[in-house]
Amino acid sequence: MRQNEAAKASQLFVELLRLSLAPQKGQMLSKAPTDCEWHNLFDECKRHSLVGMMYEAVACLPPVQRPPRDVLLPWYALTERIKQQNALLNVEAARVCTQLERDGLPNVLLKGQGVALLYPHPELRMPGDIDLWIAVERSAIMRYVHSKGWHVHTTLLHTEFLMSGGTEVEAHFMPSYRYNPLKHWQMCRLFDSIEDVQLQHKVSLESGGNTLVSVPTAAFNRVYLLAHIYRHFFGEGIGLRQLIDYYYCLRQGFSAAEAEQTVHWLKKMGMYRFARAMMYVMRTLLQLPDQYLYAMPDARLGKMLLREVMLAGNFGQHDQRYVQLNSSNRLARFWTKTRRNVSFVCYYPGEVLFDVPFRMWHYAWRKLHGYL
């Protein structure tokens, strides 16, 4: 009985999710959810950080299918807060990008407020921090941050710091990384080869005034956003928000030649199998038309990926199977992540087999450089 109820709740959530991708007034769910089901749906939206965009779908439902007031009002209030946060973050992102560029640190705004521009309603995407790819050497970035006296937390990928005023920034030395050293090198070569194009691709953020900031091109995002998801898949896990980002990235469209170029890059970086899994999820879960798929979906890999996404929540924060990933005990986190990733070895051996060696090397590298 419980399994049947869980299946119905999951079906309703997926229906609402699909409606939220292109909401229209008068759209309907297959059945009117009960009050209890609406509470569960709201909780699931919060779990996957999809409160704002899902609310828009709820607002388009006929009155007979809308949630009770004790769900609708908090949902509306959270959505309004998300809009306000996005407006403030757009202003801050434009200010930060401009300040760093003026100080000799050319940068590209990754993910976050830049990706939100791909959404029909950018103000409804759940905001995060400000992620920037800084196009200078790591040493120059670290000298600059230390000269400002900003508190830092540094890894191979980026240094995190709080600017004066409290703005949280992640300054990336590189867009992403891989456990597999050969694939990591190939990824960095690709990103470096198209760095200048990204720096020249400037847009203005909504509510960020007329200030122009650099954001990735569509071609870059097709590879980079997938690489970002891939990294988190082997890290703390991924959630639906990251898939929705990629959905709207693909909805930008591409030519046959551009699709071929994307596939070529992904094969060189060893991510083509994961791309085929993602194409399955895009087609099956989000019903993305085939014209926006650049590779043939793989059902076996895709079903596994979809299962992991639904269990993990936003960046794996709600995965009850691996609660110790958030433990303060470093050894417990290490063992839990190792056990989790070993379960994927049959799917992605080229990455999983380098997982433990990479993390041991990364720990030693951070300790050697005084980053621990």
- Chain mean pLDDT for the chain: 90
| pLDDT value, residue 163 | 81
Listed in sequence order, the residues at least 6 apart from 122 whose beta carbon sits closer than 8 Å to its beta carbon are: 86, 113, 116, 206
Split at pLDDT 50, 70, 90, the class of 7 is low
Q: Which pLDDT tens digit goes with each residue over 28-64?
A: 999 999 999 999 999 999 989 999 999 999 999 999 9
* C-alpha dihedral, 84 to 90 to 91 to 94, nearest 10°: 170
Q: Which pLDDT tens digit goes with each residue over 253-271?
A: 999 999 999 999 999 999 9
Percent pLDDT > 70 in the chain is 92
Residue spans of alpha helices (H) in the chain: 2-21, 35-47, 51-59, 69-102, 112-116, 138-148, 181-193, 195-200, 218-234, 240-250, 256-268, 272-284, 299-312, 330-342, 349-352, 355-368
- Mean pLDDT of the 152-181 span: 91
| pLDDT value, residue 165 | 72
| pLDDT value, residue 314 | 42
DSSP state of 136: S
| pLDDT value, residue 368 | 93
| pLDDT value, residue 8 | 67
- Mean pLDDT of the 271-279 span: 97
